[in-house]
Homo-oligomer: A and B are copies of this chain.
Amino acid sequence: MSTAERKAREKEALKLLILKGAKKLFLERGIEQTTIRNIADEIDYSVGTVYVYFKDKNAILHDLHSIGFEELGGYFKELFSIKDPMERLKKMGFTYIKFALENTEMYDLMFIVKAPMEFIETSEKEAWNEGVGTFGALKKTVEECMNKGHFKGNSLEPLSFMIWSMVHGMCSLEIRQRTKGVKFSNPDTILFDGYNEYLKIIEKL
């Protein structure tokens, strides 16, 4: 192996080290409470070094948001073995909520925080591939449902968006403290209770 190759690998390794340190601090104290200095301290490098490997804070947040989508992919993996599309669609929403509740800080970064989208805007990156791909998986499942005779009279893309919005709405209200504020009869299970109402409805469609 050449020196150039090794250097490239070392550069990649340090980039991952920074991301790993950043993620650790995010989970420990939250995204907003984590500073570049914290991250540099965590991995025993100086602030300057962090800026050698990342253009700015948004770049770190974007890369971390991509890692979040990989983790969501892990949650989704088992879904693809489910042949019945309606069954898969139901489990997909359930899995989505489960991911959000078990990875609140990551979910926040992926779907609520502005930084990752700002990074995409201010860089030559073509699009939000992570979001496009995930929404595509939902759309494909809804399409299979329609091909089997479900959702008569509905349109694929808007219907898929509606379903995504519903699960995202529940998760984001929870994560941004709005369910806590409303004091439900059963606050600990309101997300899944709400999702069950949706299941009852689509079972008829």
Binding site for B on A (CB under 8 A): 32, 111-114, 117, 120, 127-128, 131-132, 135, 153-155, 157-159, 161-162, 164-170, 172-173, 176-185, 190, 193-198, 200-201, 204-205
Q: How far does the alpha carbon of A155 sit from the alpha carbon of B201 in the complex, in Å?
A: 11
Q: How far is the CB of A57 from chain B (nearest CB, A)?
A: 13
Q: How far is the CB of A159 from chain B (nearest CB, A)?
A: 4
A154–B197 touching, CB < 8 Å: yes
Question: Contacts A114-B176, A201-B205 hold; do A194 and B165 have CB atoms under 8 A apart?
Answer: yes
A178–B114 touching, CB < 8 Å: no
Checking B111, B190, B195 against A178 with a beta-carbon cut-off of 8 angstroms, the contacting residue is B111
Checking B114, B131, B166, B200 against A165 with a beta-carbon cut-off of 8 angstroms, the contacting residue is B166
Contacts of A112 in B (CB 8 A): 112, 172, 176
Q: How far is the CB of A21 from chain B (nearest CB, A)?
A: 24
User: How many monomers of this chain does the complex have?
Assistant: 2
A154–B117 touching, CB < 8 Å: no
Question: Contacts A111-B173, A117-B178 hold; do A196 and B158 have CB atoms under 8 A apart?
Answer: yes
Contacts of A153 in B (CB 8 A): 200
Contacts of A185 in B (CB 8 A): 157
Q: Which residue of B lies closest to A174 (CB)?
A: B165
Q: How far is the CB of A156 from chain B (nearest CB, A)?
A: 10
B135–A197 touching, CB < 8 Å: no
Q: Which residue of B lies closest to A167 (CB)?
A: B169
Contacts of A154 in B (CB 8 A): 197, 200-201
Contacts A131-B182, A161-B194 known; list 11 others, CB within 8 Å: A113-B176, A127-B183, A128-B181, A131-B178, A132-B183, A154-B197, A154-B200, A157-B190, A157-B193, A169-B172, A201-B201
B168–A164 touching, CB < 8 Å: no
Contacts of A114 in B (CB 8 A): 32, 176-177
Q: What 4 A-B pairs come out closest when comparing CB atoms?
A: A169-B169, A128-B181, A165-B169, A158-B193
